[in-house]
A and B are shown apart, each in its own frame.
Chain A
Amino acid sequence: MRHTLSIIVADQPGELSRIVGLFSARGFNIETLSVGSTLDPRWSRVTVVTSGDDRTVEQIVKQCERLARVREVRDVTSQPHVEREMALIDVSATPGAARQEVLSLVSVFRAKVVDISHTRMLIEASGNREKVDAFIEMLRPLGINDITRSGYIAINRVSHEEGSQESEVESQNESYAAVLHSDS
């Protein structure tokens, strides 16, 4: 099963490599990894998407907790959470139908055009796993030249209440995915 772990670690040289080294030394899987600062500049947040059965993931959490500079390890997946990834996509878009097609997909997926040439466009897209994957799948027939993905970041929900802004967006994204999948 897929798990997203949020690891709060001291923002010091070498600390990330301790975490990454631990994963490889113990044979744990890293699907995506992203690192950034937290509100407190002394601490960084490492978000790791990993997979394994419950025992493996429990072991990963405990092994990470042993690290002297790790303050907290949370399996975000076990609670309501929001997860996002960003992708920058270089796609072929010659003037005419191809460019129109890219622009309409960009609009449907609420992506953004960040650069353009006579033959190509650079698109910025973000969302949950399904959305970004679906968007890339839709662009693929048009000719993707290059792609870079940020890896997932995640945070627990502030509320479980229905009707919060986040969940509206979320359900919107889900419906996009549903529509687009039925389309293909």
Chain B
Amino acid sequence: MIAEQLITKTKPVPPFGVGADETLPRGAEVLLQALVNEGVDTIFGYPGGAVLHIYDELWRYREQVTHYLVRHEQGAVHMAEGYARASGRVGVALVTSGPGATNAVTGIANAYMDSTPIVVITGQVPLPLIGTDAFQEVDTVGITRPCVKHNYLVRDVRDLAGVVREAFFLARTGRPGPVVIDIPKDVSAARCAYSRLDHVAFPFREKKGRPDPTSIARAAAEIVKSERPVFYVGGGIVNSGASVQLLALAERLQIPVTPTLMGLGGFPSAHPLCMGMLGMHGTYAANMAVAESDLLVAVGVRFDDRVTGKLATFAPRARVIHIDIDPANIGKNVAPTLSIAADAGEALAALSKEIESHKASTKTGIAKRAGWWERIRGWQHEQPLRYSGSSDKIKPQSVIRELHRLTKGRAVITTDVGQHQMWAAQFYPFDGARQWITSGGLGTMGFGLPSAVGAKLARPDELVVAVVGDGGFQMTNQELATAVQYGIGVKVIVMNNGYLGMVRQWQEMFYERTYSEVDISVAPDFVKLAEAYGAAAFRATTPAELADTLAAGLAHPGVAVIEVLVSKEENVFPIVPAGANSRDMIVQEP
């Protein structure tokens, strides 16, 4: 039936390669129809020669699919990521061949590291030109191969609908990630009958693990009787939607929880069981608890070096139960004593069910852990997250605190990478999953603004704030034009300290204050820049102005940029120096 609809919509196109029956839909239309069938209604993209047929078709599909024209392809992919992470759906980006594809690579690698489900469609030169160093030709599948879950070069239009279906399946199944579909120009022009392909027989096995009952039983028995347990939880909680199961289990057993950077919001930060983030810039209590723990229950995490520091001394007294959907994450950096390769939510639910048969030991276990909680409360009291105030300079931490107060903790926050990112992670207690969208694994400056645009489109009724630094903002600030063009009312807080702050901090602390190439104080006037793009602009220069300026900016209905001049040489604390062990953490300015 759909094919019939397609036929009536089709009109002749310039002949390209295949001289097939012109009443059949061309590849571009097959692509669009396949995307619609996957539930796609939003695409971020940038046109070019190799995707002209697709853009031509996109125009005809504009009632069903809204395309957002970005200003740089990196922005398109970050928007798709922001959209995916805010909504849990698959984000879609569309770019042309050659430089379009290479510009998209940073976003694709970012999505790969942070397990974000996106499908990126790239144009390619026509099949006969592949391998001839043609204009705007690049080996896209070759370049993206190490940073995708899978990619395709579609050589036959008859494969296209099935490829799209499989791509979406792969992007969202198991450990989510990016999938690239490279479509030669003549394939998007070639004609073929479209069928909906309800039952595509994928030539590979489905790799979704179910929790193994024996391992669940053993894990439950260990957890209930442990004396100094810690739940170390990450992005897998968010991707799985396992917050409810985690909360239930932690509360039932009264076990402390520490989320990773990617896991923030997966467990409510203000909950008494939450010790705050762990790792390089984690809280003293969380890092001490992991160092002293006798049982680390790691869920949806991959033991990243920013979490573990020196592996040999990470959680030295702990047995480790590792639950992750990706079997390759298990045993990669830390060899667990027990592992469960499964979806976080399913595993946690199975554990909860299992501990029901340990009622007595659950009760004695909770009693046994009283001493453990005393020590944790001691660490929290001894070294809380803190910063020194100032009467004349705006402290960057205070900006985040104020933002939290003004938004009642309910905003969706995106960030770039660096000091402002860590302060946002530390001083904005996130309540729920998908409220925090940051570049964790790849550490991509410039992620904040475009991911905020994508997030705002996914959740139009919510306040979406990009917290960025003056460095990262200048990497993608052209996407203000995209936001203004479509009236996507994101708010951008630019924490301006005139430095590449995190690099400067490391140079100060570990390179005898040799400030090598970190001064970026020659920058555009961010208020004028924002106004030039047609956004509203605000600036706070003194602590007295901060609250009102932030409030005014956040209340502005459209796109708003709020520049905050913050103290220039503020450092992020605590810090565990790279490759050190968490006991070497520097808690505050010496």
Chain A interface residues toward B at CB < 8 A: 10, 13-14, 17-18, 21-22, 25, 42, 55, 58-59, 62-63, 65-71
Contacts and interface: CB of A to CB of B under 8 A. Distances in A.
Nearest to A70: B204
Interface-centre pick from A13, A59, A66, A67 (highest chain B CB count, 10 A): A66
A71 B205 contact: yes
Contacts of A14: 141-142, 145, 153
**Of listed B150, B205, B328, residue having the most chain A CB within 10 A:** B328
B163 to A, nearest CB: 12
B170 A25 contact: no
A18 B145 contact: yes
A5 B223 CA distance: 37
A67 B332 CA distance: 16
Chain B, interface size category, equals: 10 to 19
Given A59-B332, A68-B149, A69-B150, 5 more contacts: A14-B141, A25-B146, A58-B331, A59-B328, A63-B328
Contacts of B141: 14
B326 interface: yes
A65 B328 contact: yes
Interface in B540-554: none
A55 B141 CA distance: 30
Interface in B169-209: 170, 203-205, 207
B532 interface: no
B327 interface: yes
A69 B326 CA distance: 16
Nearest to A25: B146
B331 A59 contact: yes
Contacts of B332: 59
Interface in B78-137: none
A5 to B, nearest CB: 15
A65 B149 CA distance: 12
Interface of B: 141-142, 145-146, 149-150, 153, 170, 203-205, 207, 326-328, 330-332, 335
B170 A68 contact: yes
A177 B203 CA distance: 44
B145 A21 contact: yes
Given A55-B335, A68-B150, A69-B204, A17 B328 contact: no
Contacts of B150: 67-69
Given A62-B327, A63-B328, A68-B149, A17 B205 contact: no
13 contacts: A10-B203, A14-B141, A14-B142, A18-B145, A42-B203, A58-B331, A59-B328, A59-B331, A59-B332, A62-B327, A62-B328, A65-B328, A66-B326
A17 B170 contact: no
A70 B146 CA distance: 15
Most buried by B among A14, A58, A68, A71: A68
A66 B328 contact: yes
Contacts of A22: 146
A17 B203 contact: no
Given A10-B203, A10-B204, A65-B328, A17 B335 contact: no
